[in-house]
Amino acid sequence: MSNEEHPTPPAEQTEEAKADISSAAGRLAVKQRAGGMIVPVVTALFAFLIGGLVVLGTGHDPLSAYRDIFNGAGLNWVFHPTTDIANTAAYNLSQTLLQTTTLILCGLAVAFAFRCGMFNIGGQGQYFIGLYVANWLGYSFQGMARLPHVLIAVVGATLAGAAWAGIAGVLKATVGAHEVITTIMLNWIAIWVGEWLFGDGGPLQNAANKTVPISNDVAGSAQLPVFWGQQQLQGLHVGFFVAIAALVVFSLVLNRTTLGYEVRAVGFNPDAAAYGGISVRKNLVRAMAISGAFAGLAGALDMLGYLYHFGQSDIPATQVGFLGIAVALLGRNTAVGVGLASLLFGALLFGTTHGLQSGVSTIDPALASNLTYIIQGLVVLFVGADLLVLSIWGWRKKLRPKHREATA
Amino acid sequence: MAEELVLEMRGIRKEFPGVLANDRVDLDVRRGEVHALLGENGAGKSTLMNILYGLYRPDAGEILLHGKPVSFGSARDAIQAGIGMVHQHFMLIPVMTVAENIVLGVEPRDKLFLDERAAETRVRELSERFGLVVDPTALVSSITVGQEQRVEILKALFRGADILILDEPTAVLTPQEAHELFEIVRSLKADGKSIIFISHKLNEVLEIADRITVLRRGRKIETVPREGATEPSLARAMVGREVLLRVDKPPATPGDVLLSVRDLRVIDERGIPKVRGISFDVRANEIVGIAGVDGNGQSELIEAITGLRRIDGGTIEVAGQPIIPRSPREMLDAGVGHIPEDRQRRGLVLEFSIGENVALHDYAKPPDSKWGWLFPQRMIERARRLIKEFDVRGGGPETRAGGLSGGNQQKVVVAREVDRDPKVLIAAQPTRGLDVGAIEFLHRRLVAERDEGRAILLVSLELDEVLSLSDKVLVIYEGEIAGEHVGEFSEHQIGLEMLGVGKKTEAA
């Protein structure tokens, strides 16, 4: 009796075992893969649908509200494209793309950690750190030539963001502290560091007026060139191309380098990765640091691209790091997805604030800007409830045959 | 034996998307009968029983209980109708006592609270009636696996089961424990209970069953009485072709010592010593098998040798070179290949393609990569070659590993390990969960690798497998070598040593 099978669990349990990825992020990644491109689109549509119901509930017409947002975001530019920035649609679009730039990088910050099985909630803090360091370096080297000055400030801020996120990575790798907890804590530390830096007597407070809790402006030599629009009117700076390039780099690193191979192996199955000879701890720290680098870069580009200065009161008003989470979730942690989701949220961010300023809006200003956050919240909610979306559309069953064939 | 039919399943059909798991399956069970359900993995045994137990609804067909049609919406319905199931994986709560586990959900109450004394008394009565010896007051965490199984059986009986489904009940037992289980089954049968015994072990089916129903690919092939059935006839019905039941293995000609372990000690996460001073050698052209009941330090031993777990003491030499295994990478580079016991948890990244999985150890070296840059095309080419060489079916180099069947997944793992040309190959449960055809392939391959000059350390919970493949057998019990056997193996003696009885052999 040699050729005996060793029993396996019944098919159902095997299926569970296949989905048994050790982290919540990993599990979500697996499930998201199964949904393909359709589910994120459905998720977004659902969010808009329910957002529309909210608008309806306030006694307004959701369709005209969405049209205002569309036009306010400058998306109507595609109907009559022009580079003339005096054109309203062109200006609106440039502003939407400005938001998109930041969102791409904040989204990548979440997505990269996600691919390594971690949930980086700390994009906000890492972004702030990048912002602070870019402001400090951008102001510090007055009179330097533009290229080295910009490079110093950008690289310094990026590394600072990496180091900040790296703290969470080190804590996870050494003592097992969960990255969700530590990155949230690091966000608060970053916020209060900012309050101190720009506050009365703070090291980065402006030199001219010691009663105003605002930083100095970065030197002209550290400011990024604007290629669409005017510098004084918050034109679109070259950082936009940096963000696009970051999408390409993200994709190449993940899919075409040994580093990316390790990140994905650890993200999908840390046990198998360790067995394969990959150091899981090293990858946790490294992936977290790379994530932080994306967020730090976002902070640098914003500071050097159009903000130039930052104050205490700006800190609580800044939410872009958190929006990165929704961007990454909706974008399925892929480069293309993050790019498209960033455009969507960028349009929402600017469209809701600008759609009503143009005077044609019919909706309540307070509701208009909140609509972004309502839709953001709904997207996060629906992405979390992916299976719900799948089963509502009856696709869940269609996802199973792949496995069933395998066990038969 | 009474001819009274207690259960009839007629024309049961169950389709999962893409797979017909049960296709017009009939099954009838008599009162006081042991009815074996025999078939390979994926033959539809579990599906059929899950339908009977109310976990799945059949697409077509009917179930008659004592002649009356029934329809179960949940396991609760099935239990109420007198059906009990003992799963392969026990569902007991370790911190509670045996009696508490048994009465869970149907507790005898003393007003609001559990009446412990009543529970214990009733459990004791039941266990005496059927010869299921187990102490009702013992904590489940303190009893053996064989006893846990008795608790599961008692649980079903306590809920009034007349029809008891035993799903692969001997999988976790030693030969002695299995023998005791058969005694219990016979006493249940004598009491008029009907038992459905799911198995794919031909010998035990022939020992215990009155009638045998064979399933293959979702269809019922035949129902035969035990009288007249033979192992080859059942194997043919199961697989659909003649099967070589024995491993053809020329005698070993052991060469140099390639793996030498001396006084190895390993502790687990909780600081408990799991490997307590083990020494052995594995030579080139030799398969050394480690037999033992699950949880006696096998996993920790393998993890130590492969660098997945820190050692607490002792030495390891690979091909004469002493190594302190600090990381899996170190052992991989030293020439130790490892077929892990859980291919889905450890052996493969299921979300990766076959090509990416084949590169799992060597992705960072040429030809897979250079200066950190990957060459996916080269991985694909290698995967294509190995898929052909190892007859991996069900996908190409770019197919997700998770989409393959268990046997083909294991072939990918073995292909990867063997292709690295390791000096030492550690095979942990290499055929766990595989069907007869895949087992045949893997066993032949292991013997072939032995004859290539590798030193093979085989660790398996399947005693038959250890006995048929090994040139030397070591028995592990509580982290120590309890026996060493070369040449003729006494299954009885090895079984005793696995249980820690008859520790008479040379101390490690």
pLDDT tens, position by position, A272-297: 999 999 999 999 999 999 999 999 99
CATH number (domain holding residue A197) = 1.10.3470
Q: Which two tokens stand for residue A154?
A: 């950008």
B5-239 and B250-335+423-508 in the same fold: yes
Query: Which run of H or of E encompasses A152?
Result: helix A146-175
Cis peptide before B325 (omega within 30 of 0): no
CA contacts within 13 A on the Cβ side of B37: 27
Q: How far apart are CA B153 and CA B134, in angstroms?
A: 11
- pLDDT at residue A401 above 60? no
Q: Is residue A408's pLDDT more than 50?
A: no
Q: Answer whether residue A111 shows pLDDT above 70.
A: yes
Q: Cα separation of B405 and A349, whole Å?
A: 48
B37 contacts in chain A (CB < 8 Å): none
pLDDT of residue A402 exceeding 70? no
Domain boundaries, chain B: 5-239, 250-335+423-508, 351-421
CB-based contact (8 Å) between A16 and chain B?
A: no
What pLDDT sits at residue A266? 96
Residue B231 has what pLDDT? 83
Nearest to B171 among A6, A259, A272 (CB): A6
Three-state secondary-structure class, residue A248: helix
> By C-alpha distance, which of A289, A313, A372, A380 is closest to A99?
A372
Residue A387: band (very low, low, confident or very high) from pLDDT cuts 50, 70, 90: low
Residues contacting A211, CB < 8 A, separation 6+: A200
All residues of chain B having their beta carbon less than 8 Å from the beta carbon of residue A36 are none
The DSSP-derived string for B444-467 is: HHHHHHHHTT-EEEEE-S-HHHHH
DSSP H helical segments within B343-435, as ranges? 354-358, 376-389, 406-419
Domain count, chain A: 1
| Nearest chain A residue to B46, by CA | A10
Q: Which of residues 386-405 of A touch B (CB under 8 A)?
A: 397-398, 400-405
Q: How close A250 comes to chain B (CA, Å)?
A: 14
A-chain residue closest to B17, CA distance: A401
Asked if A275 and B41 come within 8 Å (Cβ–Cβ), the reply is no
CB contact under 8 A, A4 and B464: yes
Q: Is residue A130 part of a domain?
A: yes
Determine the Cα–Cα distance for residues B138 and B148; give it in Å rounded to an integer.
Answer: 11
- H/E element, B323: strand B321-323
- Statement: residue A373 has pLDDT above 60: yes
Judged by a CB distance cut-off of 8 A, whether residue A274 touches chain B is yes
* 8 Å CB contact of B374 and A261: yes
Does residue B246 sit in helix, strand or coil? coil
What tens digit of pLDDT does each residue of A56-105 get? 887 778 888 888 888 888 888 888 888 888 888 888 899 999 999 999 99
Which residues in chain B have their CB less than 8 angstroms from residue A283's CB? none
Termini Cα distance of chain B: 52
Tell whether A79 is covered by a domain.
Answer: no
The residue behind tokens 């050729």 is A3
Token pair, residue B499, equals 């249980």
Q: Which tens digits make up the pLDDT trace of A129-166?
A: 999 999 999 999 999 999 999 999 999 999 999 999 99
Helices B175-190 + B491-498 axis angle, to 10:
90
Write down the pLDDT at residue B18.
65
Question: Where on the phi/psi map is residue A223: left (φ > 0), alpha (ψ -120 to 50), or beta?
Answer: beta
* Distance set, CA B234 to CA A147, A250, B220, B332 (Å): 80, 56, 13, 42
Does A17 reside within a domain?
Answer: no
Per residue of chain B (508 residues), give pLDDT as tens.
446 889 999 999 988 766 788 999 999 999 999 999 988 777 888 889 999 999 889 999 999 999 899 989 888 899 999 999 998 778 888 888 898 888 887 777 777 777 788 888 888 888 888 888 888 888 988 888 888 889 999 999 998 899 999 988 887 777 788 888 999 999 999 999 999 999 877 888 899 999 999 998 889 999 999 998 888 888 888 877 776 666 778 888 899 999 999 999 999 888 889 999 999 999 999 999 999 888 889 999 999 999 999 999 999 999 999 998 889 999 999 999 999 988 888 999 999 999 999 999 999 998 899 999 999 999 999 999 999 999 888 888 998 898 887 888 999 999 999 999 999 999 999 988 777 778 888 999 999 999 999 999 999 988 888 988 999 999 999 899 999 998 777 888 888 888 777 554 444 3
Q: Beta strands B257-267 and B273-283: pairing type?
A: antiparallel
Distances B215 to B12, B44, B78 between C-alpha atoms, Å: 13, 7, 23
CB of A324 less than 8 A from some CB of B: no
User: What residues have CB less than 8 Å from B183, skipping those under 6 apart?
Assistant: B131
Contact B177, B146 (CB under 8 A): yes
Nearest to B268 by CA among B296, B306, B289: B296
Interchain CB contact of A282 with B (< 8 Å): no
- Judge whether B61 and B13 are in contact, CB under 8 Å: yes
Cα(A109)–Cα(B268) distance, rounded to whole angstroms? 36
Q: Which helix (H) or strand (E) holds A236?
A: strand A236-237
Does A1 contact B203 at a Cβ distance shorter than 8 Å? Answer: yes
Report helix, strand or coil for B270. Answer: coil
Beta bridge mates, B484: B474
Partners of residue B83 on adjacent β-strands: B163
B-chain CB neighbours of A10 within 8 Å are: 46-47, 50, 88, 167
Residue range B5-239 forms a domain whose CATH class is: alpha beta
In a domain, A55, yes or no: yes
Do A279 and B327 lie within an 8 Å CB cutoff?
yes
State the average pLDDT over residues A177-206: 94
Judge whether B222 and B236 are in contact, CB under 8 Å.
no
| Nearest Cα residue in chain A from B440 | A3
Quick check: is A10 in a domain? no
Note whether A248 contacts B: Cβ–Cβ < 8 A. Answer: no
From the list B40, B356, B374, the residue facing A5 with the nearest CB is: B40
pLDDT of residue A16: 31
Which residues, in sequence order, are bridge partners of residue B225? B211
- Is B250-335+423-508 a CATH 3.20.20.150 domain? no
Smallest CA–CA distance, residue A5 to chain B, in Å, is: 6
How far is the C-alpha of A262 from the C-alpha of A245, rounded, in Å?
Answer: 22
Q: Which of residues 341-380 of A touch B (CB under 8 A)?
A: none
| Residue A382 pLDDT greater than 90, yes or no | no
A298 within some domain: yes
- The DSSP code sequence of B182-202 is HHHHHHHHHTT-EEEEEE--H
pLDDT reading at A107 higher than 60:
yes
State the DSSP H helix or E strand holding residue A197, giving kind and residue range, or none if neither. helix A179-198
Q: Is residue A78 part of a domain?
A: no
A4 touches chain B (CB under 8 A): yes
pLDDT in tens, A203-262: 999 988 888 999 999 999 999 999 998 888 889 999 999 999 999 999 999 999 999 999
Is A5 close to B435, i.e. CB distance below 8 A? yes
Residue A173 has pLDDT above 70, yes or no: yes
Q: Closest to B245 (Cβ–Cβ): which among A1, A7, A14? A: A1
Residue of A nearest to B304 (CA): A275
Which chain A residue has its CA at the smallest distance from B243's CA? A3
Q: How far apart are CA B319 and CA B336, in angstroms?
A: 10
Length of chain B counted residue by residue: 508
Closest partner residue to B346 among A262, A271, A404, by Cβ?
A271
- Predicted confidence (pLDDT) at residue A356 exceeds the cutoff of 60: no
Per the CB < 8 Å rule, is A6 touching B431?
yes
For residue A220, give the nearest of A142, A300, A140 by alpha carbon: A142
Chain B environment of A404 (Cβ under 8 Å): 16-19, 21
B33, B5 Cβ separation under 8 angstroms: no
Residue A268: inside a domain: yes
Determine if the pTM surpasses 0.80.
Answer: no
A268 vs B: CB within 8 A? yes
ipTM of this model?
Answer: 0.79
From A402's Cα to the closest Cα of chain B, the distance in A is: 6
Q: Give dist(CA B58, CA B53) in Å, integer.
A: 11
CB A136 within 8 A of CB A201: no
Report the gap between the CA of B45 and the closest CA in chain A (Å).
Answer: 9
Q: Which residues, including other chains, have CB under 8 Å from residue A216's CB and lie 6 or more apart?
A: A135, A139, A204, A206, A207, A309
Q: Which of A1, A249, A397 to mutate to test the interface with B (most CBs of B within 10 A)?
A: A1
Overall residue count recorded for chain A in this entry: 408
